[in-house]
Amino acid sequence: MGEPEPSEEDVMKVLIATDCHLGYAERDAVRGNDSFVTFEEILSTANTENVDIILLGGDLFHDNKPSRKTLHTCMQLLRKYCMGDKPVNIEFLSDQSENFKYNSFPFVNYEDPNLNISTPVFSIHGNHDDPAGQGNLCSLDLLSVSGLINYFGKCTDLDNVKISPLLMQKGETKLALYGLGSIRDERLHRMFREGKVSMLRPREDSETWFNLFVVHQNRSRHGLTNYLPEQFLDDFLDLVIWGHEHECRIKPEWNGQQNFYVCQPGSSVATSLCPGEAVPKCIGMLNIYKKSFKLSKIPLQTVRQFYIEDIVLSETSLNPEDPDIAERVLEYCCERVENLIDKAVSDHTGNIQLQV
């Protein structure tokens, strides 16, 4: 726009990803490691891109009670990639005992003098890894209590939800990060309609904050009330990171009614055979400078890509009168599948291979 590039010290670099579903298909002989390999790629990218923080949109785990192997691998990767001597340049301004009030150590991990954090991870929970059972804990609580991540957006009083933002500053940029972990869609829909959800705003210079909201709900309308309509959200927001939906629609979409952008990173592993999951998987590199942002997408290299094609037999040269038509159709379909496999091989030859 002709404006000078802001200095690096003023730009907050946030790596965004969601729905990593660690442990998905972990007993599958071929795909068993996929979720871990791609999570390692994400953390490794955070390091090479030298980001300030990693922001996850829920469903870090596939199962509410992940296997010991899954939990172990996750902890191993977080300790390997997110601890170290790189200084964290984010100043934390809000009341941490409020932001992390459900955590045993209610402060951000990189301010714990006993931990040497290089890249703080912030995460809300999704519907797969939501709190349950004794103590209303979830897997993210285990990562939080051991100091490996910063878990926020937990909400226990569903009669009166007040979302206090995490306030962070880097140079001239001030980020107000709002988060709300997954709540049953119908319930949240009703709570919004009844005015029971409110977002608190910083009193000082409230217009100067970049307001980012991360949420994990149905985005598309499956019925009257089992989704979260974008127009329910406050219009002071600048950007909404939408978790839960697996299709990668990472390019921010403008909502002209609410005057904010919505970015849907999509899952980093395909968990169902559908067109949405066949879209190439990406994570986002979000650069925030004061009230503006740039989001570039980083295609993931390790994802086992799904390919989907429609076959319309009437558009082929196959003759339905042919006495051997069944065999011809089979041959035709096999050929198309072989072509897709060739395409997959050619698309992915030379891609990085990570081994967890």
d(CA 242, CA 216): 6
Q: Determine, following the binding rule CB under 8 A, whether residue 148 of this chain makes contact with its own copies.
A: yes
User: Residue 46, interface with its own copies (CB under 8 A)?
Assistant: no
Distance from chain centroid for Cα 88: 21
Side by side, which strands form the sheet with 53-56? 150-151, 121-123, 53-56, 12-17, 282-289, 292-299
Q: Which of 17, 71, 199, 237 binds its own copies (CB under 8 A)?
A: 71
Q: Which stretch binds its own copies (CB under 8 A): 81-89, 186-194, 279-287, 319-327?
A: 81-89
User: In this chain, which stretch among 72-80, 161-169, 255-263, 272-280 interacts with its own copies, using CB under 8 A?
Assistant: 72-80
65 binds its own copies (CB under 8 A): yes
Distances in Å between the alpha carbon of 233 and those of 187, 212, 214, 237, 258? 15, 12, 11, 8, 8
For its own copies, the binding residues in 12-41 under the rule CB under 8 A are: 26-27
User: Measured from the CB atom, is 59 or 141 closer to its own copies?
Assistant: 141
The continuous run of DSSP H or E covering 180 comes out as: strand 173-180
Inter-residue contact 257 to 231 (CB < 8 Å): yes
Provide the minimum distance between the beta carbon of 34 and its own copies in the complex, in angstroms, as a whole number. 15
The tokens describing 57, both together, are 């949109």
Q: Is 128 a catalytic residue?
A: yes
Instruction: List the x/- string, 92-131, binding to its own copies by CB under 8 A.
Output: ------------xx-------xxxxx--------------
Q: Which of 21, 62, 128, 244 is catalytic?
A: 128
- By the rule CB under 8 A, 142 interacts with its own copies: yes
Distance CA 81, CA 158 (A): 35
Cβ atoms of 176 and 165 within 8 Å: the answer is yes
CA distance 195 to 197: 6
In angstroms, what is the minimal distance from the CB of 47 to its own copies?
14
- Per CB under 8 A, residues contacting its own copies are 26-27, 65, 67-69, 71-72, 75-76, 79, 83-85, 104-105, 113-117, 133-135, 137-139, 141-142, 145-148
Task: Please list the active-site residues.
Answer: 128
